Amino acid sequence: MYWKGWQAFLPDSAILLIDCPDRPGLVAGISEFLYRHGANILHADQHQDNELGLFFMRVEWSLDGFDLDRDAFLLHFASLASQFGMRWRLEYSNDRPAVAVFVSRYLHCLVDLLHRHQIGELSCRIALIVSNHPDAERHAAFHGIPFSLQTVRADNKADAERRQMELLDAQGIELIVLARYMQVLSPGFVGRFRSRIINVHHSFLPAFSGAKPYHAAFERGVKLIGATSHYVTEVLDEGPIIEQDVDRVSHRDQVGDLIQKGRDLERVVLSRAVRWHLQHRILSYANKTVIFD
């Protein structure tokens, strides 16, 4: 069951995301185009990377009174985009993309995402849960979500990923969330879903990457423990970072305490990353991200 929550009270809107070389007239040109077609702008945010000479923008407007539908917008905006050398995409707030959640044995992030989805915090349709262990099946059944158990070993990894991609294609999956999925995806798999796979790493990257970062952090005697959400790339744990958070660590804390604190952080940073992605607030470039307010 899915409740639309507070988002049900918001007007349907369109969101335009742009990145291009920075030059005078960009904001004026975009604003004038939207004004000419009856747009009532709800939010606008921009960023300049002065070192690389790049411009980034997110603008959202109400569809009430706007005189261009999706196809017409693509046609009419193309000339302005070409003039300024824009990379751009148009999104709509009332779209509900299909999401797949991959998980192994640690279920805290999955359960948190399912709860947030149920109360309407995540604007999507969780269409599939995939796991290499059976532990999550009961949660999928409770929420009425299809569950696929895919055993992954070194000798069947390619076949397992082929079956997974068939399931993803059948469900029209647009975003994959790795909610503590303890398998490394192949470059071919990642390439199929570039900038559409979000992972949570149980460490404040780039420190303490690898399989047991809390143990490594404990041995190092850290005073802060962290977690990181990031887009997945072909290089393990080095994709563009979306969100990070930390908690203080005492000398009294043992490994178990660090793990407990870390799990709380993992839930928060992963849910934020997924929510921002679904709200079309993220642009990636140069292995970094711009997160629009």
Radius of gyration of the chain (CA): 21
pLDDT at 5 exceeding the cut of 80? no
Amino acid 119: pLDDT: 95
Amino acid 287: pLDDT: 94
Contact predicate 12/62, CB 8 Å: yes
Amino acid 1: pLDDT: 44
Contact predicate 206/228, CB 8 Å: no
Tokens of 211: 């399989």
pLDDT at 204 exceeding the cut of 80? no
The phi, psi pair for 272, rounded to 5°, reads: -60, -45
pLDDT at 209 exceeding the cut of 80? no
Place of tokens 């158990």: 149
Q: Which tens digits make up the pLDDT trace of 34-79?
A: 999 999 999 999 999 999 999 999 999 999 999 999 999 999 999 9
172 three-state secondary structure? coil
Mean pLDDT is lowest, of 60-69, 100-109, 131-140, 230-239, for: 230-239
Query: 3 or 215: which carries more pLDDT confidence?
Result: 215
Structural domains in the chain, sorted by start: 7-92 (3.30.70.260), 98-291 (3.40.50.170)
pLDDT at 177 exceeding the cut of 90? yes
148 three-state secondary structure? strand
Active site (catalytic) residues: 237
Tokens of 120: 């309407």
Place of tokens 């509900």: 96
pTM for the whole structure:
0.91
Contact predicate 172/98, CB 8 Å: yes
- Residue of 29, 33, 36, 35 lying closest to 85 (CA atoms): 29
Contact predicate 67/38, CB 8 Å: yes
Mean pLDDT is lowest, of 67-76, 142-151, 247-256, for: 247-256
Amino acid 6: pLDDT: 45
Contact predicate 255/218, CB 8 Å: yes
Tokens of 280: 């079309």
Contact predicate 173/127, CB 8 Å: yes
If you average pLDDT over residues 168-183, what whole number do you get?
A: 97
Q: Which tens digits make up the pLDDT trace of 252-275?
A: 888 888 888 889 999 999 999 999
Mean pLDDT is lowest, of 124-138, 176-190, 195-209, for: 195-209
